[in-house]
Structure 1
Amino acid sequence: MVKFMNENDYHEVGFVGQIFTWCNNKRGGDQILERLDRCILKTLAINKIQITLVRHLSRVASDHCPIVLKIFESVCKGRSGFKFENTWLSFKTVEHIVSSRWKRTFLGDDMEILNKKCKRNLKDLFYWSKGRLENFSLEKERLKAEIINLQEEESRYGWLTKEKLCLLKAKVKELNVVLNNLNTWWKQRAKAKWVKDGDANTKFFHSFANSRRNVNRISHVKDSNGMLTKYLKEIEEVFSRFFQGKWKSRNCSFS
């Protein structure tokens, strides 16, 4: 099955509910439970839908659980945290930003100073990255068009001037750098550690990253009474009550 999915570009959709979808309806040690029913989608569907979820319902009239595919029409975007981008390591500017920000003076104890420096560095790197790396795809297309124009001119006249030949080599080198940064960017999001270095950026990385986002998305949680809830407001209240109870002040005695 795994071979079939890899060869035909299928990805499994994440699910909620009971794990097993089939039972042989026997008792005791003769009972067998298996997860036989699954929902798989092709890359094209995942890239268009992006947020999907499968729910395993109860077994009633059959020895199989009915499965329901839920397609979310809108995505609720919350505040995203700052993440270190592996592609930053290929820019000298990053070294200068980190060095200059780290030398600044902050008030507080050692832990507070360390947290403030890390937060400030990530924030500065985020805004630099947003302006520098956001247009990688556009830059890739621009460089490819310029290289094609120079190569067409070379094939038309049979030669290029020394200046244009140097320009062509520079454009090719710049394009390779951009492609490498794009590849690094998508590898980090896909977290496909088994992918060998040198593989080009393809639709596979996009679909892999989208599939992983589906699996990691929290769509259902159980409250303190064990009831399953799927509404965003109720999920927020469940998390809020949990951490308020976890971090409330307590009187401790060491005697």
Structure 2
Amino acid sequence: MEAFRRALEETGLADLGWRGNKYTWNNGHEGVTFIKERLDQVVANQWWRATFQEAGVEVLSTWVSDHKPLLVLAKEMGERRYKGKKFKYEMNWGMEEECGRLVEDVWSKRRENSGFLRSVQQKLACCRVSLRRWSRGLNKGREGEIKEKSVQLRVLEEEEGPNNMGEIKKLRGEQSILLDKEDLRWKQRVKKHWLANGDKNTKFFHACANQRRKKNTIKAVRDSQGRLVIEEKEIEGAF
């Protein structure tokens, strides 16, 4: 660590410190072999520190990696509010047990004096009304639950040790499920933006195209003899 500090001084960089829990890594052990260290830091040069004098680094909770993420707070961003207009079924609703029970309840009710097609239309309309009413506070409630569990994780991680690692792991698992639902919610919104802006020559289009190109790039394959080939012509020949 001392060598690291000297290297920072020689390059003109400085550690921005931390807020909250100091330790960014632990080995996850629940016995006497438990270890935690501050392995991760954020550094900046003199110009950046002069420009963002109020900047700070917040150590966040983690639920997947054994390293805690670091959030650089350069300025306070106001919250953005999105107002819903037309009804759209949210894919993440399917991960909620209550959603399935609600649809099943609406669909099981018989509609008197109506033909088959009319009955289906009425059930769809009732589902729309029920889902809209049910989901009204779902996203806010989930966001609040995520924040609440993040706070609980942070408190537990302040005193993390072999005696509470089991509780921390359980809370991380619950947090992971909530974040999977949020991830699905925002994936659906990205697709909506793609339908509106995807074919236009915009920054959004180029960002999506570059990301897709990186994802679809084939860097190596194994041929019919099981050899790993990495050259472009060899990859083409293997296919």
| Alignment TM class, shorter chain as reference | 0.3 to 0.5
TM-score, length-normalised on structure 1?
0.41
Q: What is the TM-score normalised by the length of structure 2?
A: 0.43
